[in-house]
Amino acid sequence: MANSKYEYVKSFERCQPDILLPNTWIAIRIDGRGFHKLTAKYAFEKPNDRRALDLMNAAAVAVMKELPDLVLAYGISDEYSFIFHKDCMLFERRAAKLITTVATTFTSYYVHLWPTYFPTCPLTPPMPSFDGRAVMYPSVQNLRDYMSWRQVDCHINNLYNTTFWALIQHGGMDGTTAERELAGTLSKDKNEILFSRFGINYNDEPAIYKKGSVLFRDYELEPPSRSDASPAFAVEGGGDGGLSAPVSKTAKEKERKRRSKATIAVEHVDLIRDEFWVKRPWILSGRAGKLRE
Amino acid sequence: MANSKYEYVKSFERCQPDILLPNTWIAIRIDGRGFHKLTAKYAFEKPNDRRALDLMNAAAVAVMKELPDLVLAYGISDEYSFIFHKDCMLFERRAAKLITTVATTFTSYYVHLWPTYFPTCPLTPPMPSFDGRAVMYPSVQNLRDYMSWRQVDCHINNLYNTTFWALIQHGGMDGTTAERELAGTLSKDKNEILFSRFGINYNDEPAIYKKGSVLFRDYELEPPSRSDASPAFAVEGGGDGGLSAPVSKTAKEKERKRRSKATIAVEHVDLIRDEFWVKRPWILSGRAGKLRE
Amino acid sequence: MANSKYEYVKSFERCQPDILLPNTWIAIRIDGRGFHKLTAKYAFEKPNDRRALDLMNAAAVAVMKELPDLVLAYGISDEYSFIFHKDCMLFERRAAKLITTVATTFTSYYVHLWPTYFPTCPLTPPMPSFDGRAVMYPSVQNLRDYMSWRQVDCHINNLYNTTFWALIQHGGMDGTTAERELAGTLSKDKNEILFSRFGINYNDEPAIYKKGSVLFRDYELEPPSRSDASPAFAVEGGGDGGLSAPVSKTAKEKERKRRSKATIAVEHVDLIRDEFWVKRPWILSGRAGKLRE
Amino acid sequence: MANSKYEYVKSFERCQPDILLPNTWIAIRIDGRGFHKLTAKYAFEKPNDRRALDLMNAAAVAVMKELPDLVLAYGISDEYSFIFHKDCMLFERRAAKLITTVATTFTSYYVHLWPTYFPTCPLTPPMPSFDGRAVMYPSVQNLRDYMSWRQVDCHINNLYNTTFWALIQHGGMDGTTAERELAGTLSKDKNEILFSRFGINYNDEPAIYKKGSVLFRDYELEPPSRSDASPAFAVEGGGDGGLSAPVSKTAKEKERKRRSKATIAVEHVDLIRDEFWVKRPWILSGRAGKLRE
């Protein structure tokens, strides 16, 4: 064939180590690139712009729908984490392919849905883009700690931002003064500032700002069960990368369909305690639950 | 700090080997995901849809403009390769960041510019997405062989497709018959079929279909020069990952600006022979040329 | 400093992705290089040379003693697998360092101890060497399946070799004829050949040949316990890469000492069933057991 | 087959990214582990023990002989760097295999040859071991800078050590005082101390201490040639990872034999200037030179 002379260059592609370790949870995290400028350009509301968050969530819901292998997603600000189950074999677990598929699908919907959420300010170049990375977590505990880390980050950032912008918007400070005011303060100090100076009870703030957004397939909830036996704690959910009861191809296809049909729930709930995981055992088991009627 | 308990999960991020080897050329290649369906859905013309190629090129031009570190890009069909110079240190050469930035920026513009090229058929979900990968090439020869490989591929595919669709559109065959007709044929056989049966001289086909699209910064052309000393052949262009004459920060900034200002040329020319590279020494040297007036 | 001009080359070292994922079991497997020639040169007995296996085991015991982080080792023929606990942080889990330390320590003792096991045939160049690799296993099940895989391999190879060499040594066949005789036979066929033709009951063969050699630190055995709660099955033993009860530095040092003091047991036992693991919970927990008096 | 149930664990081995990029120079550097203790245990002479260096060199010569793909080696103190040509395809360029083969072969000879160099103090456990790593260098310049870096390091360390031990052995200082004396001194200060206080002209010290040991295959020297065209500078020597004139299998085998036959030279010469490389073009070309009679 005419092109054989050059094809040796393909051998260079094998050198990017790319297969993610089997039997590990895969977190793909994407981040808005230079969103500081973007929020200024489109005059996002401070400290939180509800339309911007709704747009992020809508794009993430679309990603979940297009990739039924995803079991969970979590978004805060301009960042989103998408979780593939540890048994997932999509794209043979090739990292570059998983990252770019998630990131470009998200971007595609973000641009497409923009007019729905910002009907009066059309997107113009420079266009939004996102960078992404893949991280592997071997155990359920590691995965839950990752989610907890992000949610704690959400809380810390939002409490800070809420107080910072209250000082500016209601307290008449400039940014530098507000920053100085908050330097070294603890959570309780910020709560106190909000309440005593501005009559804001942080607990009453919308959950979407305080907790971020949790996306999962919406099967029938199960009653919280005997915690010890639950996959949220000890037993690794689902297969174990090889020796679990073999699943037939048709069974797999059925599963896949059931997952595709499930609607994607968007909730603003605690991910740190056990309750979330115990009630929705299908997330860690990777098995589709019972579809809601 | 409250979140320290969970932050250990960050250490898992170090395990994705991600830094691309210094002093190697970086090719980021993106491919349309499931574009077979997309071309059907939007009724792309066969064998080539000029609007679709123009859209790909427009998105690629935007990527070149947003990332001045790119020295070259080459597109065929639903695939695009973007080349970072071997001296490029963008994002510290982290592979995931380079891949996702290129792929999502491209996607963002692809969606944004769609209505310009397909004004009568708006994009609807499922939205287009792209996967991507990074490959390193240590020498100019390897890089040029990579480009040649892609351009030979373009030629082979386009000759095949042109003949295949001629058999269907002008010869009245169905796909299966056309495929059987072409099985085992050589290039000259396909040229012969085109000419003798349909009066098509393949050489007269538009260069964009036969050669693909080459994008580069458009400085003043230099006269083809004494080939031996040229970076297209032997001497590695530009620095050598460390010991080349040190470039001051302000000089670098100036360079960067000059690159940003250059218009992006879109040409459909031969990349395999030396001429292209000899005439445009700035591509391999990585140094901005003289801006056209 | 005079050498700063060249030191940039150090940056190239970062590009070998080398940190093994935290919270995964690490198996370092080494294999004799070209041991086919070596067994011929020193006239190893067939199908098994007890001195050669004892030498392998003695070298492996020395490796276990020098690296208290190792929790288990398993040897067959000219291969040995060394297991680091999933919580092990030795050399920051850098793969190259772990592999080369295990492999060169093993080699060093292999050469040093050779005269003890082969007093009459001194080693001469070309000298023995070993290659090695590191593999990560996320779960206890994966790790146990790895060990089972190696032990099943040991069984299959040894049954084959025992029958093959019986046909030659007692049956007077040449190698080619023996090979043909065994082509397509099942385990029970080989057992039958051994018994009916040569009066050999394979079950009576020495366990070291049938089972390979298992090395572990020899604490007081515990009575096989309530299996469900045991780390051999479900609960991941020891910490979880971050959130287990924090262990103080002095406690760690104490642990380390206790491990260093334990004698290394060399046994030829079944690794596939649960019993081995249930009786020796310290292997999976990674916690030193009670030293034998 | 009986073991298929467990064999899935083999798939975990694909996840260690291991293929070194084609067309890059490979440096395998090994370092003695804990040699500080070893030098004390066997009472190595200070600042340099000639027997210890000769042993290192003898082991390295054996490695060069067993691996004809090696084109160069360089040793200082308890460290050795082995260079594979950029065209080398040994073990398909798998990093773990290359590192462990070099490191264990070296170790094997180190232990084996010890009695030749230390006839009166036999090796006893704990035995010497070495860790190793692989680094890729894309260009000749990078490779030469790596070698220069090591040789500059040799010079700096040896000048320091020579002065430090002179202060102790001839000047009667203790270690702490000598260290304090040398803090902040430049090369010329150390030269001055050596000369004015102890009558030592550093230039007269043996080259093996000042320059380290350079190993290469000893073909007939060529007259230093017109530098511009030489592979030591610009043109990448040998093939280019694909497109160089194809070499037949028999030609390759012949090459290999010629390389195996060449004696290994051990010299203590400057690697930083061009002369070394210009005179021995076969090192960078990777082509065997003319065997000495």
| Cβ–Cβ below 8 Å for B241 and D138 | yes
| B35 assigned to a ligand binding site | yes
- As a whole-number percent, the residues of chain C with pLDDT over 70 amount to 89
Query: Which of B161, B162, B128 shows the shortest CA–CA distance to B31?
Result: B128
Question: What's the confidence (pLDDT) of residue C225?
Answer: 57
C-alpha distance from residue A292 to each of A220, A259, A267, B273, D178 (Å): 5, 12, 16, 63, 80
Do residues C202 and C209 touch, judged by C-beta distance below 8 A? no
pLDDT tens track for D141-181: 999 999 999 999 999 999 999 999 999 999 999 999 999 99
B13, B126, B132 ranked by CB distance to A100: nearest: B132
pLDDT at C200 over 50: yes
Residues 6+ apart with CB under 8 A from A1: B156
Query: In the numeric block, which tokens belong to residue C166?
Result: 């019986």
Average pLDDT on A79-94 reads 96
| Closest residue in chain B to residue C23, using alpha carbons only | B12
Average pLDDT on C273-284 reads 96
Q: How do the pLDDT tens digits run along chain B, 293 residues long?
A: 445 688 787 777 766 668 899 999 999 999 999 999 999 999 999 999 999 999 999 999 999 999 999 999 999 999 999 999 999 999 999 999 999 999 999 999 999 999 999 999 999 999 999 999 999 999 999 999 999 999 999 999 999 999 999 999 999 999 999 999 999 999 999 999 999 999 999 999 999 999 999 999 998 877 765 544 444 443 344 444 444 455 678 888 888 888 888 999 999 999 999 999 999 999 999 888 888 87
**3-class DSSP state of A219:** strand
Q: Across C68-155, where does the E strand assignment appear?
A: 70-76, 79-84, 130-137
| D239 assigned to a ligand binding site | no
Size of interface A-B (CB pairs under 8 A): 175
pLDDT at A15 over 70: no
Question: What's the confidence (pLDDT) of residue B68?
Answer: 95
Question: What's the confidence (pLDDT) of residue C16?
Answer: 61
Question: What's the confidence (pLDDT) of residue D137?
Answer: 94
pLDDT tens track for A245-261: 556 788 888 888 888 88
Name the strand (E) or helix (H) holding B136: strand B130-137
| Closest residue in chain A to residue C15, using alpha carbons only | A16
Lowest mean per-residue pLDDT among A210-219, B264-273, C98-107, D244-253: D244-253
Query: In the numeric block, which tokens belong to residue D101?
Result: 């083969």
Could you write out the three-class secondary structure of A118-167? Answer: CCCCCCCCCCCCEEEEEEEECCHHHHHHHHHHHHHHHHHHHHHHHHHHHH
Name the strand (E) or helix (H) holding B149: helix B140-169
| Cβ–Cβ below 8 Å for C6 and D145 | yes
Higher-pLDDT residue of D14 and D84 is D84
| B189 assigned to a ligand binding site | no
- C partners (3+ CB pairs within 8 A) are A, B, D
Lowest mean per-residue pLDDT among C14-18, C214-218, D69-73, D114-118: C14-18
User: What confidence tier does D89 reach under pLDDT thresholds 50, 70, 90?
Assistant: very high
Task: Give the gap in angstroms from C-alpha C187 to the nearest C-alpha of chain D.
Answer: 9
Q: What is the DSSP letter of A264?
A: E
What is the Cα–Cα distance from C289 to C283, expressed in whole angstroms? 9
pLDDT tens track for C32-65: 999 999 999 999 999 999 999 999 999 999 999 9
Lowest mean per-residue pLDDT among A88-92, A143-147, C78-82, D249-253: D249-253
Mean pLDDT of all residues in chain D? Answer: 90
| Cβ–Cβ below 8 Å for C17 and A17 | yes
Question: What's the confidence (pLDDT) of residue D289?
Answer: 83
Residues 6+ apart with CB under 8 A from A129: A32, A33, A107, B66, B101, B104, B105, B108
Do residues D251 and D221 touch, judged by C-beta distance below 8 A? no
Lowest mean per-residue pLDDT among A236-240, B59-63, C16-20, C101-105: A236-240
| A77 assigned to a ligand binding site | yes
| B31 assigned to a ligand binding site | yes
Task: Mark out chain C residues that contact chain A at CB-CB < 8 A.
Answer: 17, 21-24, 86, 136-139, 141-142, 145, 234-236, 240-243
A14, A15, A19 ranked by CB distance to D15: nearest: A19
Mean pLDDT of all residues in chain C? Answer: 90
Lowest mean per-residue pLDDT among A268-272, B188-192, B278-282, C234-238: C234-238
D66, D96, D145 ranked by CB distance to C133: nearest: D96
Question: What's the confidence (pLDDT) of residue C267?
Answer: 98
Q: How crowded is residue A93: how many other Cβ atoms within 10 Å of its Cβ?
A: 22
Q: What are phi and psi of B149, to 5 degrees?
A: -60, -45
A22, A142, A235 ranked by CB distance to C23: nearest: A142
Mean pLDDT of all residues in chain A? Answer: 90
Query: Which of A166, A164, A170, A93 shows the shortest CA–CA distance to A134?
Result: A93
What is the Cα–Cα distance from C56 to C45, expressed in whole angstroms? 15
Phi and psi based region of residue D113 (left: phi greater than 0; alpha: psi -120 to 50; beta: remaining): alpha
Q: What is the DSSP letter of B215?
A: E
| Cβ–Cβ below 8 Å for A21 and C17 | no
| Cβ–Cβ below 8 Å for A107 and B109 | no
Do residues C239 and C287 touch, judged by C-beta distance below 8 A? no
pLDDT tens track for D19-62: 899 999 999 999 999 999 999 999 999 999 999 999 999 999 99
Q: What are phi and psi of D132, to 5 degrees?
A: -150, 165
Query: Which of C60, B140, B161 shows the shortest CA–CA distance to D234?
Result: B140
CB burial class (10 A; 0-12, 13-18, 19+) of residue D291?
middle
pLDDT at C10 over 80: no
| B172 assigned to a ligand binding site | no
Question: What's the confidence (pLDDT) of residue C18?
Answer: 84
Question: What's the confidence (pLDDT) of residue C252?
Answer: 81
| B32 assigned to a ligand binding site | yes
Higher-pLDDT residue of D124 and A242 is D124
User: Which residues of A are less than 8 Å from D14 in CB distance?
Assistant: 19
Query: In the numeric block, which tokens belong to residue D145?
Result: 């800078």
User: What confidence tier does A241 reach under pLDDT thresholds 50, 70, 90?
Assistant: very low
pLDDT at A189 over 50: yes
Sheet arrangement for strand C25-32: C130-137, C25-32, C79-84, C70-76, C213-217, C264-267
Q: What are phi and psi of A42, to 5 degrees?
A: -100, 15
Question: What's the confidence (pLDDT) of residue D222?
Answer: 72
| Cβ–Cβ below 8 Å for A23 and C138 | yes
User: What confidence tier does A16 reach under pLDDT thresholds 50, 70, 90?
Assistant: low
| Closest residue in chain A to residue C87, using alpha carbons only | A138
Question: What's the confidence (pLDDT) of residue C6?
Answer: 83
Do residues B80 and B132 touch, judged by C-beta distance below 8 A? no
Question: What's the confidence (pLDDT) of residue A235?
Answer: 38
Question: What's the confidence (pLDDT) of residue A233?
Answer: 45
pLDDT tens track for A33-74: 999 999 999 999 999 999 999 999 999 999 999 999 999 999
Q: Where are the alpha helices (DSSP H) in chain A?
A: 35-41, 50-66, 95-117, 140-169, 175-182, 187-198, 207-211, 249-261, 275-279, 281-285
User: What confidence tier does C13 reach under pLDDT thresholds 50, 70, 90?
Assistant: confident
Task: Give the gap in angstroms from C-alpha A289 to the nearest C-alpha of chain D.
Answer: 28
- A partners (3+ CB pairs within 8 A) are B, C, D
